[in-house]
A and B are shown apart, each in its own frame.
Chain A
Amino acid sequence: MAVPDNKLQIEMLRKMMLIRAFEEKIKYLFTRGAMAGFSHLYDGQEAVAVGGCAALTRDDYITSTHRGHGHCIAKGGDVAKMMAEVLGRRTGYCKGKGGSMHIFDASLGILGANGIVAGGLPMGTGAGLKAKLTGSGQVTMCFFGDGTTNQGTFHESLNMAGLWRLPVVYVCENNGYGISVSQARHQAIRDVAVRAEGYGMVGAIADGNDVLDVYEKASAAVERARRGEGPTLLECKTYRYGGHHVGDPGTLYRSNEEVAAWRAKDPIPRMIAHVLDSGVMTRAEVDTLKAEVDAEIEAAAAYSLESPLPEPEEALDDLFIGFRATGREGRGARGGCAAGAGRAECGGAEGRPRA
């Protein structure tokens, strides 16, 4: 059984606090009109991302979801570059091209948050196939919700992973709702983990509001994967505090009592109680940690708000290598080739310099 040492326990608490503070800040900025689009927040579910990613190394891969801020922070993502991306700034992870739903950090093995439900599962399975074919020893952890388990690519991916014994851990964060439709109204089973048997893989259930339980079960799954014993479907039962996204109060399809019951099981106070009771931290140390986290988020917000927005014509870059797409006539950018691109790269409307 994997028991995290004191240092890791403190780090897990810090990451959960960081995710919560990040999401609170996004909520604040959104309601004040400082950001465009919409954002799906992770508050309430922190123990799943943090407990799961604590079982991984820097070289391992994750795939994430539309509700992806927590996974990226848990895997080591830079909160300043994340917030800048959410605010559409040039200094963001994806230069403002991705936004909240597409945060990506190749250097940390974060193979992208994803706007399509179940979109990341085949990709994560492919990363698992690469690890198996090359013997690299890397493990991939795919995060997704209960709603994903009704998509065809969930079935296709888990079937292939089970068949080929791939080093992939499929982490279902079952928060009880696919957007507004409760699990009881979207599938006939209560435990997603029972589906593991149908793919010839191990199924396990964790208390998704207990970071130590998630860590223990994720560690067992990761170790199995590294030993070549194949994939795991790990279901973590949890809850999202907000609605589907910031603009949804989440009140049309759930009761106040239900939300309150889950808030009583909040993963952060539970972990604080654990570190205090076991003498890992003192109250003063917890307070200091919280103050440091808040300061980090304030700094990230300040950095993001001070960062420049992209120039409109930057929309033309990054489609292909060494290539700039054709711009809009009469509005400055005229398209043509990026420096060094061969003539063949410039043919056609996708990059034709007009005479």
Chain B
Amino acid sequence: MRTITCRQAVNEALREELARDSRIVMIGEDIGPYGGNFKVTEGLWREFGDARVLDTPISENGICGVGLGLAITGMRPIVEVMFSDFTANAMDQLVNQAAKIRYMSGGQVTPTMVVRTVIGGGRSSAAQHSQSLHAWFMHVPGFKIAIPSTPYDLKGLLKAAVRMDDPVMFFEHKMAYNMQGEVPDGEWLIDFGKADVKRAGDDVTVVATSLMVYRALAAAEKLESEGISVEVVDPRTLIPLDMDTIAASVRKTGRVVIVDEGHVTCGVGAEIAARIAYDCFDYLDAPIERVGTLDVPIPFSPPMENYVVPSEDDIVFAVKKAAR
């Protein structure tokens, strides 16, 4: 086993896939010589050139639509949108076009494209560079959605996404890029719709996504010393969502906390909570707890930002509440 960062995991996946399939074209802002805003695409332009790794003007709606045009004419584009906040600029091409073109055309074409974008607070980037907007895309049928946490999951899911024919929204967390994890040698792919139990436990189930998986694991460590055994389930993909694994855990523990960095209202936690309530109604011993970003825009100044975005302590508090 070797240890790599999440940044390296994404970079390796992109490099290997570009080398494997000449139909893959990456387009996005500053992904070329600059190496990407988060240095995730570093070295790819030097290796593959403009024909495969193409810097675009700052035109998010246009870029996503150009990706769609590539996708329905035989290419396999990977589009980078620098921050998930900027997907707001691209909503027509993503929501009204890419998500619907297969259905509207009666299945004549499938937009084989991956849109990679970056979520998360924690860097004092303020309200327009810190949002976690992945739940928006759960609300619109037409995208598969991945939101991995570890280097192993990022690499395996990104390679699977690139090879998948259906369109994929792929969410990476800016504060996870430096996180390290062990990965095997050789190639691996991870199926969409397969959750991973990151830590086994008996008392409370914590369903956590992306960076929140790390915080949930740290919280579980702390709670262990206080006598509460926490199971951490990482869904890894939201569409499809592996309810079987989540429900199996909840039926075992009877108590559940859902931690996702999107805003609480109408967030991922709301959807998962509703499904747990339906699927596991007779097994629940406590109300379902949700931990997410508070329902205000994300403030700039660190004391306020750290209060608004979920912390390890917030998870500990919610688990104790659920365990009461």
**Which residues in B have their C-beta under 8 angstroms from that of A352?**
243
What's the Cα separation between A334 and B109 when bound, in Å? 26
Q: Which of B86-135 contact A (CB under 8 A)?
A: 92-93, 96-97, 101-110
Cβ of A34 under 8 Å from chain B: no
Cross-chain contact A122 with B70 (CB below 8 angstroms) = no
Chain A residue with minimal CB distance to B52? A133
**A114-157 toward B: CB 8 Å interface, digit per residue (1/0)?**
11100101111111111101100000000000000000110011
Residues from chain A with a CB closer than 8 A to the CB of B244 are 347
B240, A130: Cβ atoms closer than 8 Å? no
Residue B66 is within 8 A (CB to CB) of chain A in the complex: yes
Which residues of A are found within 8 Å of B62, using beta-carbon distances?
Answer: 122, 125, 153, 156-157, 159-160
Binary interface profile of A, 319-355, with partner B (CB < 8 Å = 1, else 0)? Answer: 1110001000000000000000011111111111000
**Interfacial chain B residues near A126, Cβ < 8 Å:** 65-71, 73, 77
Contact of A160 among B66, B96, B142, B240 (CB under 8 A): B66
Q: Chain B: interface residue count, which band?
A: 35 or more
- With both beta carbons as reference points, the residue of chain A lying nearest to B100 in the complex is identified as A102
B270 at interface, CB cutoff 8 A: no
B57 within 8 A of A: yes
- In the complex, A80 has a CB within 8 A of chain B: no
Given contacts A104-B104, A344-B191, A348-B193, contact A111 B66 (CB under 8 A): no
Residues of B29-56 at the interface with A, using a CB-CB cut-off of 8 Å, are 51, 56
Q: Given A104-B109, A153-B65, does the pair A94, B70 have CB atoms closer than 8 Å?
A: no
Decide if B243 touches A348 in the complex (CB within 8 Å). yes
A104 to chain B, nearest CB (A): 4
What is the CA–CA distance of A309 and B68 in the complex, to the nearest angstrom? 30
CB pair B68–A320 under 8 Å, yes or no, is no
Q: Which residues of A contact B9 (CB under 8 A)?
A: none
Q: Which residues of A contact B202 (CB under 8 A)?
A: none
Contact status A348-B64, CB under 8 Å? no
The answer, yes or no, to whether A42 is at the interface (CB within 8 Å) is: no
Whether a CB of chain A sits under 8 angstroms from the CB of B25 is: yes
Tell me whether B69 and A346 are in contact (CB under 8 A).
no
CB closest residue in chain B, given A350: B239
CB-CB under 8 A from A97, the residues of chain B are: 103-106
In angstroms, how far is the closest chain A Cβ from the Cβ of B123?
28
Interface centre among B57, B70, B73, B75 (most CB of A within 10 A): B73
CB contact under 8 A between A105 and B108, given known A320-B144, A350-B239: yes
Cβ of B104 to closest chain A Cβ, rounded Å = 4
Q: Of A92, A122, A344, which one neighbours B93 at CB under 8 angstroms?
A: A122
Chain B: minimal CB distance from A1 (Å): 31
Q: Which residues of B contact A98 (CB under 8 A)?
A: 104-106
Supposing A94-B104, A153-B92, A160-B56 touch, asked if A129 and B191 sit within 8 A by C-beta, the answer is no
Q: How far is the CA of A345 from the CA of B191 in the complex (A)?
A: 9
B61 an interface residue at 8 Å Cβ cutoff?
Answer: yes
In the bound complex, CA of A119 to CA of B64 (Å): 11
| Given A94-B105, A153-B61, A160-B56; A111-B92 close (CB under 8 Å) | no
Which residue of A95, A320, A350 is within 8 Å of B106 (Cβ)?
A95
Contact A106 B105 (CB under 8 A): yes
Instruction: Indicate if the CB atoms of B51 and A348 lie closer than 8 Å.
Output: no
Cβ-defined contact, B105 with A125, below 8 A: no
A1 CA / B71 CA spacing, docked (Å): 35
Contact between A122 and B105 (Cβ–Cβ < 8 Å)? no
CA distance A321 to B144 in the complex (A): 11
- Per-residue contact bits, chain A 293-323, to B (CB 8 Å; 1 contact, 0 not): 0000000000000000000000001111100
B67: min CB distance to chain A, Å: 6
Indicate if the CB atoms of A127 and B73 lie closer than 8 Å: yes
Provide the residues of chain A in CB contact with B103, threshold 8 Å. Answer: 97, 318-319
Residues of B within 8 A of A119 (CB): 92-93, 96-97
**Also in contact, A318 and B106, with CB within 8 A (given A61-B73, A133-B75, A153-B92):** yes
Contact A124 B69 (CB under 8 A): yes
Check if A29 is an interface residue, CB within 8 A of chain B: no
**B107 partner residues in chain A, CB cutoff 8 A:** 95, 317-318
- The verdict on A215 contacting chain B, using a C-beta distance below 8 Å, is no
Chain B residues with CB under 8 Å of A112's CB are 101, 104-105
Instruction: Say if the beta carbon of A2 comes within 8 Å of chain B.
Output: no
Residue A276 at the chain B interface, CB threshold 8 Å: no
Complex contact B242–A93 (CB within 8 A): no
CB of B275 within 8 Å of the partner chain: yes
Residue B3, interface by CB 8 Å: no
User: CA–CA, A121 to B59, complex, Å?
Assistant: 13
Give which listed residue, A94, A96, A152, A346, contacts B61 with CB less than 8 A. A152
CB distance from B146 to the nearest CB of A (A): 12
CA distance A131 to B70 in the complex (A): 9
Contacts of A93 in B (CB 8 A): 105-106, 108
* Residue B141 is within 8 A (CB to CB) of chain A in the complex: yes
Q: Which of A94, A123, A134 has the most CB of B within 10 A?
A: A123
Interface contact B240-A129, CB-CB below 8 Å = no
Question: Are A319 and B102 neighbours in the complex by a CB distance under 8 Å?
Answer: yes
Say yes or no: A156-B61 contact (C-beta < 8 A), given A126-B67, A319-B141, A348-B240.
yes
A159 to B193, CA, bound (A): 39
Please give me the residue from chain A that is nearest to B108 by CB atom. Answer: A106
CA distance A321 to B238 in the complex (A): 17
CA distance A128 to B92 in the complex (A): 20
Given A130-B69, A130-B70, A321-B165, are A123 and B97 neighbors across the interface (CB < 8 Å)? yes
Query: Complex formed: what's the CA distance from A349 to B275 in Å?
Result: 8
Q: Across the A-B interface, give the 6 residue pairs with the lowest CB-CB distance, nearest first.
A: A126-B69, A122-B65, A156-B62, A344-B193, A94-B106, A348-B241
19 A–B contacts, CB within 8 A, in A order: A61-B73, A94-B108, A111-B72, A111-B109, A119-B92, A122-B66, A122-B69, A130-B69, A130-B74, A131-B73, A134-B75, A159-B62, A160-B66, A343-B193, A346-B193, A347-B240, A347-B241, A347-B242, A349-B271
Q: A93-B105, A97-B104, A122-B62 are in contact. List 16 more A-B contacts (CB 8 A).
A: A98-B104, A112-B104, A115-B96, A116-B96, A122-B64, A125-B65, A126-B73, A129-B70, A130-B70, A160-B62, A320-B166, A344-B194, A344-B240, A345-B240, A346-B240, A348-B240
